[in-house]
Amino acid sequence: MEATVPGHADTHAHGHHGHPPSGLMRWVTTTNHKDIGTMYLWFSFAMFLVGGMMALTIRSELFQPGLQILEPERFNQMTTLHGLIMVFGAIMPAFVGFANWMIPMQIGAADMAFGRMNNWSFWLLPPAATLLVTSLFVPGGAAAAGWTLYAPLSVQQGMGMDMTIFAVHILGMSSIMGSINIITTILNLRAPGMNLMKMPLFVWTWLITAFLIIAVMPVLAGAVTMILTDRHFGTSFFNAAGGGDPVLFQHVFWFFGHPEVYIVVIPGFGVVSQVVSAFSRKPLFGYASMVYATASIAVLSFFVWAHHMYTVGMPVGGQLYFMYATMLIAIPTGVKVFNWIATMWRGSLSFETPMLFSLGFIFLFTMGGFSGLVLAMAPVDVQMQDTYYVVAHFHYTMVAGALFSAFSATYYWLPKWTGHMYNEKLGKVHFWLSLIFFNMTFFVQHFLGLAGMPRRIPDYALQFTEFNQISTIGAFGFGLSQLLFLYNIITCIKGGPKAPAKPWDGAEGLEWDLPSPAPYHSWETQPTVK
């Protein structure tokens, strides 16, 4: 038996002769948190491009009324896969990649707690993504029920739906294992002297997110398993003729789906907290209140699921409860925005690319929050339900929220990861193009929704043409400006100018938001590999 030291799982994964494997096998068998974090990030970017191409296909169809390039069924398959791939393939793996890279460093641990489980949780993703994408090419095509997979549609569709269910199960397994690993690492491998209230906020937000994932992923698994048995084993969970109820699916799905929205955005809160603090050159304002606000957002997210379901015929008392509970979430969210602004107040600000993306996040996420408050009102939502207003709302929270904070994190930590600086001018161009085209794409969709354009339709009335054309042009601009990002990253990795020891001048290392000096075992005092 080989004894292993916790956090050093990679010491015995080196093949028979004691040499670490090289080439492809290094990546297949690695238990190193940095390698695995890198794979997560590249995988998520690849999925971002795939999901983005689907979005552009959708927008191309909507450039003018009438059916141009997609059959209605194909159009719905595109919306389904775009949603599933962006949420489970692009955004979540990106933040797990950041977690893998940064959490051990930020808490002074040698590695993640479970090296081999870490490797496995990554390698479950490519097969799941393959299942999703290839479901387009099977008889009957991919699931066309939308990313929410609503019954009874999802019970009636072809084998692409079965592939989707299988993919969702695999993605859920990956997320749960990653979360167990993150929680164990944070709770057990912190350096001496680092108690919970001294951890960087990124670590806190991931601790909270990981608990959310473990709580709700099994719920999604239950929902899609019930669809599976309805499809193949004669059960009637969602079939009214057999005593089931299609609305039951919505309840189960959204009990997963609403916390999922916060799973997507809470790690972004952590990134923005650290970046804003760094480029304001002062500690985060109200560290403790940030931790409590994030935790209360996570707890409240379990009590608001049916605000996605105001139109299913729930009693008025139920609508009132979900309306007030939803509005309550605005309070801790407002606390966070206030704290970010107070951090910048009278700080010594500089506006490098990471800071720009974090500021873009704060501005756009706040707008998404406001449209969310509008949709929280039951009588208003009954009018807005399933219109483009909802599409605009959740893209302001998820694209502007998760994606902008992910860009911010990438630019912020890239010098640390690669030892090279990226091209700052190019980074700023990437930011401004993304900001302008993002708003061009999604801001006009509020007006489409207010005018009554339903979502998930391939054709529309003539009155919606202009706004749809603006939206489509914006989407192509946004998509193309991400190629600048890719170019900047690759040139940086291949050897941009050498990064100084503290790339963000005056922003001292990673522990800015700690109320006390960095612990002795912080990564800052560990020897760096040249």
Active site amino acids = 82, 111, 147, 174-175, 258, 260, 262, 273, 307-308, 333, 336, 455
Q: What angle do CA 98, 42, 479 make, to 5 degrees?
A: 105
* Distance (Å, whole) CA 140 – CA 137: 8
**Angstrom distance (rounded) from CA 246 to CA 257:** 16
- Give me the torsion for CA of 326, 328, 330, 335, rounded to 10°: -150
- How far apart are the C-alpha atoms of 362 and 95, rounded to whole Å? 18
Half-sphere CA count of 235, side-chain side, radius 13 A: 14
The residues facing 387 across adjacent strands are 454
Structure tokens at 99: 């977690």
Q: What is the sign, positive or negative, of the torsion defined by CA atoms of 145, 150, 151, 152?
A: negative
Contacts of 456 (CB under 8 A, 6+ apart): 75, 76, 79, 146, 386
Question: Residue written as tokens 């202009």?
Answer: 466
DSSP per residue, 167-182: HHHHHHHHHHHHHHHH
Nearest to 496, CA basis, from 421, 395, 430, 433: 421
**Number of other CB atoms surrounding residue 302 within 10 Å:** 15
The CA-CA-CA angle for residues 396, 40, 495, to 5°, reads 100
Question: Can you tell me whether residue 309 is helix, strand or coil?
Answer: coil
- Cβ atoms of 98 and 413 closer than 8 Å: yes
Q: Which two tokens stand for residue 509?
A: 């290392």
**3-state SS assignment for residue 387:** strand
Q: Reduce the DSSP state of residue 138 to 3 states and report it.
A: coil
Q: What separation in angstroms does the CA of 25 have from each of 22, 101, 171? A: 6, 20, 23
Query: Which residue is associated with the tokens 């170019």?
Result: 487
At how many degrees (to 10) do helices 72-84 and 159-188 cross?
Answer: 10
- The rounded Cα 347 to chain-centroid distance in angstroms is 29
State the Cα–Cα distance between residues 73 and 140, nearest whole angstrom.
9
